Each structure stands twice: as structure tokens, then as C-alpha cells.
Amino acid sequence: MTEGLKEAVRMAGVVGAGGGGFPTYAKLLAGAEVILINGAECEPLLRVDQQLLRDETGLVIEGLRTLVRACGARRGVIALKAKYKEAVLKVKELISRGASGGEFDVFELGDFYPAGDEHVLVYEALGKIIPEGGLPIQVGVVVANVETAYNVALAMEGRPVVEKFVTVTGAVKNPVTVRVPVGVAIRDLLELAGGPAVAPFAVIEGGPMMGREVDPREPVTKTTKGIIVLPADHPLIYRKRANSAAAASLARTVCMQCRFCTDLCPRRLLGHHLEPHRITRAVGSGRAFAPEEVTQAFLCVSCGVCDYFACPHGISPRLIFNEIKKILAQKKVPNPHRAADLQPEEMRRWRKIPSQRLLVRLGLEDYEHPAPLIADRDSLMREVKTVTLPLKQAAGAVPKPVVRPGERVEKGQVIAEVPAGSLGVPLHASISGVVRKVSPEMVIEKVGKE
């Protein structure tokens, strides 16, 4: 592996562009045979990955080539849904012209949820099953998001991560996908989409399944993929506000042990020893958990299938698992589930959840509209006057500020750095201006003249 490439990716602050934001440089491990670009756009309503694959194809492929070189991999694969026809054609065209400079392939996925889950994606595209509680590298694979690959390409040009592509959709007047500085307030993004089309409204950051309700005053971070506006009384918003206590109470009241939560669990369908209905039964009966039931929580990735789609009564084994995981973490209980010799369920092919059916189940079919990528992105950048940059934006150590209030900083300048030897990446100023506040939680910058 080329250490220079790895360090360039670290210094640019590249992390997973969605999910937990794991530092990309730490995933560049020798022994990787395949670099797999995740273009599944797993969650309904989001558009960023397919649009980048269509409009920034060259940079995404260049990022993939850099990742292949950094890991000494033999092959690069871009996996995206077959329904993204324009993106599929563009990627195939560039690869066929030799722009990839290596052994690159395109894999076309079906339109189901959660096609973008790492374990599901690796099995679909490569036929490999990652062990329980394991990582793709255990089967010789490194998975990177489309926008992450794009950022890797920019890192090779010395350009750090200071901007974010975000889809703004749902109950807004003009759904759009925009590129904005990291740290811009979510409420400013709503204005770029013409403002909410309903009142009162609520906002979800991320996708409808795994996203969370947020205050519009919160900032966009390196992992923000989508902003979804819904009426405040939408059923999905009520579900987002539920807690583990409510889930347990509902389980005690109405669970009828239909097994739908287990039969449709994506990880269970890959052979993982995860049975949500058993936990629900234990909660409902009030009996003590068996050890194997309790630690099954480690295998849950909170995809939301069990509660948002499978359960006819809206019980949430997911929330119950989340509470169990907190308790296990407090007690420092290790994950004992590491089975590697897994076999997919025979019924798996018939139990994939069609995206359109999921939209209907969530009550979101009326919001399935195009969210075009705005071409005149530079003008949007100039309109941003203030950004708020939380120090904790990714997995790993929290970076420490290296600037003080009142100090002038330039766009792309390092303003916080992780301690030497720690897992983590630096944080950069996303606009030029004056530092107005530095605290353990965030750096706020007042924009000066760019």
C-alpha cells in the first residue's frame, strides 16, 4: 500500500459520506482484493449517489482508481441500481473507453431495501458473506460510498472535504440536490428548496428508515446525505419519536409472534443468528432474557425493516435492541457472535423488500419526486454567511481546535486536528472568515469576504 496516498486521504479529512463516517484512510488495508463502490442509494427519496455517478463520473472513477492503488487491490466494482439508467450508461461508457485505467466492473442491483447495507451489498455484488459482527475486509473487500470516492479524488488534488452534497426533499416546494459548505444550517437548505410546503413541519436528517428527526437549526455535517421535510403529524414522525420503553410496552400488549420481523430481517436472510421475535416474546412475557437472546442485539444494524415494514402492529424490536446494546456496552460485554460459515436463507430472493412497496408502507409515495442537482452551485456557496462545525463529525477521536476566537481562517485550512496516533481526521474551515467561537463541541465561523 502507498502510505503517501493513505496520508493524503487522512489529511483531507475524508470519511464515509453517510452512516457513521468511518475515516476512509483507516479502511485502506493491504490484503483487499476488491474495492466496492456503494452506489445503491439504499434509502428511498435520496438522490446524491446516482447524480454524482451521472454528473461527476470521472472523479468518482478516479477516486476508485486511487483506492485500488492504495490497497493493492486487483479489481474495482461500482455497484448501483439498474433503474439509475443514466448513471449506469455513463459509468459503463467511461469504463469501456479505458478511463478506469484498470480492471473495473459495473454491477447492477435490484431495486430493494436495504441494497446498500454493506453485508447485503457484498453478497449481491460479489457473492461473499461477511462473518457475523464482521467487516468487509474479512472477505477481502473494502466498501466506499460514491461521495467518498469523489472526495478521495479531490484529496489527490490537495482539496480537503469542506463541501457536502445533500438531497432536500419531501414536503418542500422544489425538491433539489445541492452542494453546500459543511456546517451550513439545515434551515438554510430548506430555503434552497423553496421552503416547506406544509405547516407545521418536521425534519428528518438522513433517509426515512435510518434517519433521525432534527432541529432545523442544526448544521450539515460530513455524513449528512438527505433532508426530508414532512408534516408534523405524519405517522413516520410519530414513529421517529418513539423510545424503547414505548416499544417494550407495545410488545407486551400486542405481539402475536407472527415472526415477520425475523423472516424479513436482512441480516437473518444472510444467515446471521438474529431472531427479533424471540426478544419481543421475552419482553412481552416479562421473563428474563437468555444470554444468546441478549447478545443478538450486536447483530442488529437498525435498518428499520422489523418495525417500519414487517410488524403489522408497529412494534419495534430495533428500539429494544438499541436499549440492550447500551446496557451491554455499559457492562463491557463483548460480541460473542462471530460465525463465519453462513448460508443465506432459501427464501431470501422472495423476501427482498421492493423500494416502491416500502414507500407506500411509509406513507411517502406522494413525495417521490425528482430532486435535480442544481448546476449553479457556486452562487449557493456565496450566499452562506455563517457555518457551525461540530468537532465530532465522524467515528474516531474528536479533533482538538488549533485556532482561537477572533482568528482569521481561510477555506480549506485545518482548524482542528486529532492527537498523533489516534484514529480520526482533521477538520477544515468550510468557508473563509473569522472564528467567532471555539468550544469542546463546535467551531463556529463568521464568514468574511471570500
Share of the chain above pLDDT 70, in %: 94
Residue 379 has pLDDT above 60, yes or no: no
Q: Give 375's DSSP letter.
A: S
Q: What is the mean pLDDT of the chain?
A: 91
Please provide residue 84's backbone torsions phi and psi, each rounded to the nearest 5 degrees.
Answer: -80, 65
Pick the more confident residue, 255 or 353: 353
Taking the domain 3-155, which CATH number applies? 3.40.50.11540
Q: What is the pLDDT of residues 84-132, one digit of tens each?
A: 999 999 999 999 887 555 589 999 999 999 999 999 999 999 999 999 9
What pLDDT is recorded for position 183? Answer: 94
Stated as kind and residue range, the H or E segment containing 169 is strand 163-170
pLDDT for 288: 61
Reported pTM: 0.94
The dihedral over CA atoms of 184, 188, 189, 194, expressed in degrees to the nearest 10, equals -170
Share of the chain above pLDDT 90, in %: 77
pLDDT for residue 4: 86
Backbone CA torsion sign across 222, 226, 232, 234:
negative
pLDDT at residue number 285: 72
Which range is least confidently modeled, 25-39, 115-129, 222-236, 258-272? 25-39
Q: Which residue has the higher pLDDT, 68 or 283?
A: 68
Phi, psi of 342 (to 5 degrees): -100, 150
Question: What confidence score (pLDDT) does residue 418 get?
Answer: 94
**pLDDT tier at 377, thresholds 50, 70, 90:** low
DSSP 309: I
313-346 tens-digit pLDDT: 999 999 999 988 998 999 899 999 999 989 999 9
Amino acid at 93: E
Domain boundaries, the chain: 3-155, 244-362, 385-450
CB 57 within 8 A of CB 96: no
pLDDT at position 450 is 46
What is the average per-residue pLDDT within 32-48?
95
Rounded Cα distance between 365 and 353, Å, is 15
Residue 448, pLDDT score? 47
229's CB contacts (< 8 A; 6+ apart) are 168, 169, 170, 171, 172, 190, 193, 196, 197, 198, 201, 202, 203
C-alpha cell at 198: 406544509
Residue 441, pLDDT above cutoff 70 = no
| Mean pLDDT (whole number) for 44-71 | 95
Going by pLDDT thresholds of 50, 70 and 90, the confidence category of residue 252 is confident
For 415-425, write each residue's pLDDT tens digit: 999 998 899 99
Q: For the segment 133-165, what is each residue's pLDDT rounded down to a tens digit?
A: 999 999 999 999 999 999 999 999 999 999 999
Question: In this structure, which CATH number among 2.130.10.10, 3.40.50.800, 2.60.120.1060, 2.40.50.100 belongs to the domain 385-450?
Answer: 2.40.50.100
Is 70 exceeded by the pLDDT of residue 364? yes
pLDDT, position 289 = 67
pLDDT greater than 90 at residue 168 = yes
**pLDDT tens, residue by residue, 176-224:** 999 999 999 999 999 999 999 999 999 999 999 999 999 999 999 999 9
Is 3-155's fold the same as 385-450's?
no
